[in-house]
Amino acid sequence: MSYLCNTILIGRLLFYEKHIVNLKLIFGMKNLFVIFWLVSLPIVGFSQDLLSSDGNLKMKFALSKEVQRTISVIPVPMEYELQKGYFSIDSLTLFSDVSSPKVKYLIDKKLTQLGGEGYILEVTSRGVSLKASSEAGLFYGKMTLHQLYADNKVPCVRIKDKPRFSHRGIMVDVSRHFFSKEEIKEMINWMSVYKLNRFHWHLTDDGGWRFEVEDYPELTKKTAFRSHHLWREWWKNGGKFVSVDEQGAAGGYYTKEDIKEIVEYAADRHITIIPEIEFPGHSREVFVAYPELCCAEKPYSGGTFCVGNDKTYAFMKSVLNTVMDLFPSEMVHIGGDETNTAVWKNCPKCWGLMTKENMKDIHELHNYIIGEAEKILKSRGRRMIGWDEIANEKRDKSSVIMSWRGEQAGIDAAKKGYDVILTPLHYLYLDYFQASPDKEPLAHDGYTPIEKVYTYKPIPDTLNDEAHAHILGIQGNIWTEWIPNMKHLEYMAFPRTLAVAEVAWSPEEKRSWKSFRNRLGSHIVKLQDAGVNTYKLSSDIESVVNVDTVRKKLEVSLKCEREDVEIRYTDNGLYLTRKSALYSWPLVVKDSLCVKAAAFKKGNIQGDIFTQHFYYHKGIGKKVQFSTRNKCGKILADGYIGGKTYLDGSWVNLHGDQEFIMDLGEEQEVRTVSTRWMQLRAGARRHLPQQVEILFSNDGENYFSGGIVRKKSLKDIPALQYQEYIFNGHWNARYIKMKVKAGDGGMSVDEIIVM
């Protein structure tokens, strides 16, 4: 039985929340503990053989063949050797605040090669020895011990462990939806179990201001509560703030006492809280309380600070000083992202500043206000973090770039000698869908299933060693526009947070998706046993296509998130049954193939039946010319069908009426042409075209129509749908033109299939 099951049996004393308290007590009693350990040393003398006389590690962790077993610890330790046998002990003794002769903890300052967070854990049939050079290291060793403990025993194992990165973070946005003190503590607690050490607290944004500032009391009085709890309802209904005593007021804020309590709670778990205050954009709420701080000087007139107004800097100074008083973190985040700089163009004060400072470009104003924040923080020995929009050569070298729009800004900054935290949205945004959007609760538009998060490689090959050193770490971000409560937050965060933890902690060469997935199942069960509303790995099938234009074929791989199932498929149009072929190798498609597949366990179908046509079609590699733009044509004829996010590089995203022409290179017989469009009713939304008309030509000038297909009327449908606009007939043509009548907004199309 797992350590969590044990936890439940003994009143969850050890694990969720309370076991951490026990740890705190243990660390608080460090001195007593060390004395106890010294007294007990002669009794159980095994731990000294971990160290040579000069204090260096002499353990060798080459795995002998007979002990090549695995442990299910997440994140996987840097080195471990599982040995035969177990140390039997009851959980109360193992995790008791009062140490026993057989369970020994030691802080040994000589263990410097494991850094400030590493540890050595040795479990033999006689007892447990845990050593580290710091309390943080002991804490992480203890977390490993917790994960190893099951059925009143711990497997015999030697572990030498330390983290890959110093910044291992999760960000939670408490502006779009407010999360209570207790809920924030819960998140911090689980982070610590998985050895994450930075909680980035997004405290202010357009959705509400969330902490007290003495000099600006109207912030929490006027903009911490709003007319609707659900962000999307509130936004749709005008986004108005209300005072706390108004009927139905929804929201909240943290008092100074709350913040102190949370900071301390996090510190007990070796987590640093990095607060974020947004400047100069994403600040609509500020101007509801203090309209004079924006260019129009009116509430609800925009979300950008006036950079030419001295009052802005008085505000900034007061707020950042309050933040520095409350948060001991060396780093403070000042936002800097997605600023609507256009408002500065029409503001005399902003123009005045531009003239005074001899600025040539409106964007220099952005740099100016960020520079002011940098000075305020630096004057008190702090370092500024900002989203990657702040990156430029004028930044002080102490400032840190948080690369979110991809990795490039981070790579460029690291090469220039800036420290960088990587949080690229297509891998590490945990508010994105984690499974097919047609089955999931509404989420932000992207698609980051756990495998995608896990397979993120934080240090690109293009970085030299010097630049490597500037990559401080990685972070998963949870924006909460679509996450209205804690249960939903848990669902989005877990188990993806575990993938973030392993990417951040474990050496690249020790990571493997297969191994992680094998270990993950038991953690999901444990988290659920402890009451966490995790996402459960999907039983559905996904395909991955490789287009081989040299051999003119597609290779189609099928996969399932669950590891405890087998995939069966048919490609011959027959029904799928438990006796259908067992999938083991990519399917080859030379012209077209209709694949049906599903996951089976013990002969029973698990998820949905996957049905998809794959084509190596006549259009692959052909030129596609757009009337509205001159790039992106290749994507429509590359053989890759788009995935579940229109941001995956296989979709072409368009706005307005379109016309595009495919040149087949020579006249060809064409019997079917189809295009697939996405409809998404969440996030940035995608809309189907009203209609698509197809036209053919041989000379590229004189076209004749091959028909029109209109949008289906789709009512009460799930978030994600596709519509194929299919044209069947018999034509001979070199050029195929599509005229697209726009839908109600942005549209996405993935491929023009020509058969």
679-708 residues near ligand ACM, rule: CB under 6 A = none
Among 71, 81, 137, 150, residue whose Cα is nearest residue 106:
137
Nearer to ligand ACM, 431 or 750 (CB): 431
Whichever of 161 and 276 has its CB closer to ligand ACM, that residue is: 276
Nearest to 472 by CA among 131, 198, 162: 198
Instruction: Restricting to residues 632-661, name those near ligand ACM by CB under 6 A.
Output: none
Name the minimum Å distance from CB 165 to ligand ACM: 20
User: By Cβ distance, which residue is nearest to ligand ACM?
Assistant: 337
Euclidean distance between CA atoms 590 and 44, whole angstroms: 68
Cα–Cα distance list, 324 to 237, 277, 316, 317, 472 (Å): 36, 11, 12, 10, 22
SS3 275: strand
Q: Name the minimum Å distance from CB 337 to ligand ACM.
A: 4
Determine which residue in the list 387, 427, 432, 535 makes contact with ligand ACM, applying CB under 6 A.
387
- Smallest CA-to-CA distance from 691 within 739, 651, 643 is with 739
Calculate the alpha carbon distances from 205 to 438, 445, 447 in Å. Answer: 29, 20, 24
Task: Give the nearest distance from C-beta 475 to ligand ACM in angstroms.
Answer: 11
Q: Choose between 388 and 419: whose C-beta lies nearer to ligand ACM.
A: 388
Q: Which is nearer to ligand ACM, 453 or 692 (CB)?
A: 453
Secondary structure (3-state) at 248: coil
The smaller minimum CB distance to ligand ACM, of residues 337 and 563, is found at 337
Cis peptide before 495 (omega within 30 of 0): yes
3-state secondary structure 87-100: EECCHHHHCCCCCE
Nearest distance, CB of residue 400 and ligand ACM, angstroms: 14
Nearest to 517 by CA among 142, 49, 72: 72
Q: How far is the CB of 586 from ligand ACM (least distance, A)?
A: 36
> Of the two residues 105 and 404, which places its CB atom closer to ligand ACM in the complex?
404
CA 668, CA 181: separation in Å to the nearest integer? 67
Listed as own residue / partner, the contacts of 212-217 with beta carbons closer than 8 Å and 24 or more positions apart are 212/253, 212/254, 212/255, 212/256, 212/322, 213/318, 213/319, 213/322, 214/322, 215/318, 215/322, 216/289, 216/290, 216/315, 216/318, 216/319
Binding-site size, ligand ACM (CB under 6 A): 4
What type of residue is 63? L
Nearer to ligand ACM, 337 or 571 (CB): 337
Residues 332-371, mask of contacts with ligand ACM (x by CB under 6 A): -----xx---------------------------------
Residue 400's DSSP bridge partners are 385, 419
**Rounded Cα gap, residues 503 and 76, in angstroms:** 10
Sorted by sequence, the CB contacts under 8 Å of residue 104 that are 6+ apart come out as 37, 40, 41, 44, 47, 127, 128, 129, 130
Distances from the Cα of 657 to the Cαs of 647, 652, 739, in angstroms? 20, 14, 8
Q: Which is nearer to ligand ACM, 385 or 747 (CB)?
A: 385
Q: Specify the residue, 165 or 479, whose C-beta has the smaller distance to ligand ACM.
A: 479
- From the CB of 387, what's the least distance to ligand ACM, in Å? 4
Q: How far is the CB of 262 from ligand ACM (least distance, A)?
A: 22
Q: Is residue 157 within 8 Å of 123, Cβ to Cβ? A: yes
Rank residues 99 and 645 by Cβ distance to ligand ACM and give the closer one: 645
Token pair 């001295």 is at which residue? 310
Among 205, 407, 445, 561, the active-site one is 205
Query: From the CB of 175, what's the least distance to ligand ACM, in Å?
Result: 12
Q: Which residues pair with 478 in a beta bridge?
A: 172
118 backbone dihedrals φ, ψ, rounded to 5°: -85, 170
SS3 348: helix
Q: How far is the CB of 409 from ligand ACM (least distance, A)?
A: 11
Rounded CA gap, 227 and 246, in Å? 9
* Annotated catalytic residue within 202, 228, 282, 687: 282
Task: Report whether 700 contacts 734 (CB < 8 A).
Answer: yes
**Which of these, 668, 519, 683, lies nearest to 69 by C-alpha position?**
519
Least Cβ distance, residue 647 to ligand ACM (angstroms): 13
Q: How far is the CB of 592 from ligand ACM (least distance, A)?
A: 40
Name residues contacting ligand ACM, limited to 403-422 (CB under 6 A): 404
Q: Minimum CB separation from ligand ACM for residue 420, in Å?
A: 14
**For residues 131-160, which are near ligand ACM according to CB under 6 A?**
none
Give catalytic status of residue 205 as yes or no: yes
Give CA–CA dist 210/255, Å, rounded: 9
Of 17 and 337, CB closest to ligand ACM: 337
Task: Name beta bridge partners: 82.
Answer: 157
Residue among 305 and 387 whose Cβ is closer to ligand ACM? 387
Q: Which of 49, 218, 338, 548 is catalytic?
A: 338
Residue 127, judged by CB atoms within 10 A of its CB (0-12, 13-18, 19+), counts as buried
User: x-or-dash pattern for ligand ACM, window 260-299, by CB under 6 A?
Assistant: ----------------------------------------
Residue 192's φ and ψ, nearest 5 degrees, are -65, -35
Q: How far apart are CA 451 and CA 513, in angstroms?
A: 7
Question: Footprint of ligand ACM on this chain (CB under 6 A)?
Answer: 337-338, 387, 404
Residues noted as catalytic? 205, 282, 338
